[in-house]
Amino acid sequence: MIVSITHLIRRCGHDPIDSRHGGSTRDLPAHAGRGPGRGGADATLLPAELLADDVVVETPFAPPGMRRHEGREAWLAYYRTSGAGLLVRFERFRELATYQTGDPEVIVVEYELTGTVTSTGLRASVTCIAVLRVHDGLITHWREYQDIPAITAALTALPDTGDAVEPAG
């Protein structure tokens, strides 16, 4: 049975725990989410060695053409190349809750991603849900549901200049 993403990360030799925040957190490597050539094998938000060679990564609410990736190398290649266009530099992954299912290989994970919008410097967080299938300690299927309204709000927010704006009237 899978206990949590935190448990999987530990099995890969990484330390994901920061108990000050409740739940489990992992400060992401400085290169995570920053584009091609900077990520190496760990270009994604979690250690690449957690992904099975034949992993399927799905994001049903992503723009068309970016919703399904088959194979670890295909996912890493996509993540590296699409990372160049990312408007966010991811900095923290925090596991909020893990839900067991009737299938011992499947868990549902609620987590928070925190990052900085590169164009404005605004720091924001978004909650995601992922349904994971893990076999022999490797993620074989990752289906992620993102909070698109929260992502849109963070990407379109204006930087806080500290100037108060008086309502018209």
- What CATH number does the domain containing 62 carry? 3.10.450.50
Per the structure, the complete domain to which residue 135 belongs is given by 5-156
Give the pLDDT score at 24.
Answer: 46
Quickly state the pLDDT bin for 130 (edges 50, 70, 90).
Answer: very high
Q: Which of 110, 117, 114, 115 is nearest to 144 (CA)?
A: 110
Please tell me which of 1-5, 29-33, 80-84, 96-100 the model is most confident about, judged by mean pLDDT: 96-100
Output the furthest CA–CA distance in the chain (Å, rounded). 64
pLDDT over 90 (residue 163): no
Q: Does 46 fall in a domain? A: yes
Q: What is the mean pLDDT of the chain?
A: 74
Residue-wise pLDDT for 3-48, tens only, equals 666 666 655 555 543 333 344 444 444 434 333 323 333 445 667 8
User: Domains in the chain: how many in total?
Assistant: 1
Q: Does 168 fall in a domain? A: no
Q: Does 163 fall in a domain? A: no
Q: Does 107 fall in a domain? A: yes
Give the pLDDT score at 62.
Answer: 80
Question: Could you tell me where the DSSP H helices lie in the chain?
Answer: 5-11, 72-83, 148-156
